[in-house]
Amino acid sequence: MKKQFIKVVLSCTVIAGGFTVTSCSKSTSSKNVSRATGWKINEKEGGFQYNTDFKEQETAPGLVFVEGGTFTKGKVQDDVMHDWNNTPTSQHVQSFYMDETEVTNVMYLEYLDYLKSVYPPENPKYANIYKGALPDTLVWRNRLGFNETMTNNYLRHPAYAEYPVVGVNWIQATQFAEWRTDRVNEIMLEREGYLAKDAKYQALNGEVAGTFSTEAYLNRPESVYNGQIDSLQGKMKKDSVPAYAKRSSGIIMPEYRLPTETEWEYAAQAQVGQREYNNYRGRKKYPWEGDYTRNGQRVGRGDQLANFKQGKGDYGGIAGWSDDGADITAEVMSYKPNDLGLYDMAGNVAEWVADVYRPIVDDEISDFNYYRGNIYMKTAIGEDGKVNILQDSIVYDTLPNGKVVAVNLPGEIKMVPVDEEETYLRTNFSSSDNRGYRDGDPGSSRFFDRFSDEEESEELSMYNSPKHKVERDSAGNLIRQYDQSNDRTSLINDEVRVYKGGSWRDRAYWLDPAQRRYLPQYMATDYIGFRCAMSRVGSKSKTKNKTVRGQKAK
């Protein structure tokens, strides 16, 4: 047994004033002894268990570390559109991780194959899970263009395996990120011995019912794999006592998600490689240095640095000369990365980000991790006082275009909006849905609801977009009710999301990281893809600075 040595320091204080009093106290530098109580931590006999060996967050699969900092968001270099939807604001971003490349076809196919295996579409109960995740391959079609080759082959043919996936709407992108979170945490628990090595395959092959959900595991671990997790325990299980990891174990990764608009723009600018004053203030036009789209360095001089539309009828240049190497999308990593090591932050495909679109960016209320789209939820508690797990019920939603998607999968936690119990007398938020907070709409002003009824509120609304109603009857037939109002003045609502970056269909104007556009979250195109991000927990920099700032080094 390894002996544990505790360094004890005797500190004495002399108090003057006629009397000399010596006050001595013992302090310990051992990480396994509490500085609060003096009790030992992680004792086999019991007591407080905590991961005192945790060093820093591990970089999860596919991600690149982005150290946070300050930058000028929304500083577009050219504004020929004069649409006034971007205001330069100083913002600070916390450190985070971002996908090295856009999510590719083969990555998305892995997701589809998993859904098909665990939730067989031939089972009527699961039919819409797999179908709702399928990309829309018909986005390639053009009334006056021959694109059937892409319609039939782009998603599944191995020739396009490492090309960015398209035809995915915002909702599908967020659901892919949720699935990815569970699969990565599943393999992390397997690696650390909390799950057996074949656990994930038993669920995939149908040998055990149910699947793994990160939040379900953290809140009610005994419910995972449809209650069969005890039979899938790894080497951490001892004396027939199940072993479950907790957040305090430091093993569970934060969730994969879409990056916020602020994070995406910050990562695309990659100011880390150029720290002159002009760039610090937002004068960098592209993710690379310089004001031109061609390479100015000696090696590769004249080559295009991104995949974009160079002119009318020119999607790649003349064959064999001045060619950017692609006509539609290009294989990821075909062009040089930016200074952060991120590929295709300009061109190839535009990318979904998490934010709800508004033309106004309110930096007065938040200049730290700015994001519009917060809907605060909490876990639903059942009659037994435990977290409610959706084992048999699947929650579906019918989108305005008639597509049916699964909102919750079996084995996941049921979430409900926060209520007055969480918001009462709070100053930082007062409701669950904050997508319309301070967006310029009179309805978002303070006490507006006290003086206006619902009809008046809708008439005064700045963002009174059409409200179409789509639902299915008991026989599964679509019932579409289109908004017939002539008073609608906007297409902007809380279901419209921002997408960033230029694409293979766009001119160089859209390659500027500060440019922003929007599209309803249920729509997909042949030029919008996505990449995932993950929050950084702990220190700002990847290598912790052990010295105390302001203290002279010894």
| The pLDDT value given to residue 9 | 43
Which of 120-129, 269-278, 288-297, 320-329 reaches the highest mean pLDDT? 120-129
Q: Which long-range contacts (CB under 8 A, 24 or more apart) does 111-118 make?
A: 111/176, 111/179, 111/180, 114/179, 114/183, 114/204, 115/179, 117/204, 117/205, 117/206, 118/203, 118/204, 118/206, 118/211
Strand partners, 389: 413
Q: Can you give the residue ranges of every domain in the chain?
A: 63-83+92-370+499-535, 440-493
Q: What is the pLDDT of residues 406-446, one digit of tens each?
A: 888 888 999 999 999 999 999 899 899 999 888 877 666 66
Question: 107 near 129, Cβ under 8 Å?
Answer: no
CA 18 → CA 11, 13, 15, 23, 326, distances in Å?
21, 15, 9, 16, 87
Number of Cα atoms under 13 Å in the Cβ half of residue 242: 17
| Secondary structure of residue 52 in the 3-state scheme | coil
Q: In angstroms, rounded to a whole number, what is the distance separating the alpha carbons of residues 265 and 207? A: 44
Q: Chain centroid to CA 306: how far?
A: 24
Whose CA is closest to 132, among 391, 351, 397, 469? 397
Q: CB of 68 within 8 A of CB of 96? A: yes
pLDDT in tens, 273-293: 555 444 445 456 778 776 767
pLDDT tens column, 228-237:
898 898 888 8
Q: List Cβ neighbours of 499 (8 Å cut-off, separation of 6 or more).
A: 350, 351, 352, 353, 516, 517, 518, 519, 528
Quick check: 30 pLDDT over 90?
no
pLDDT at 60 over 80: yes
Mean pLDDT throughout 166-176?
Answer: 97
Mean pLDDT of the 25-44 span: 75
Domain at 63-83+92-370+499-535, CATH homologous superfamily = paralog of FGE (formylglycine-generating enzyme) (3.90.1580.10)
Higher pLDDT, 314 or 213: 213
Q: What rounded mean pLDDT belongs to the chain?
A: 84
Average pLDDT over residues 348-376: 89
Q: Which tokens is 60 given?
A: 């999860």
Q: Is the pLDDT of residue 175 over 80?
A: yes
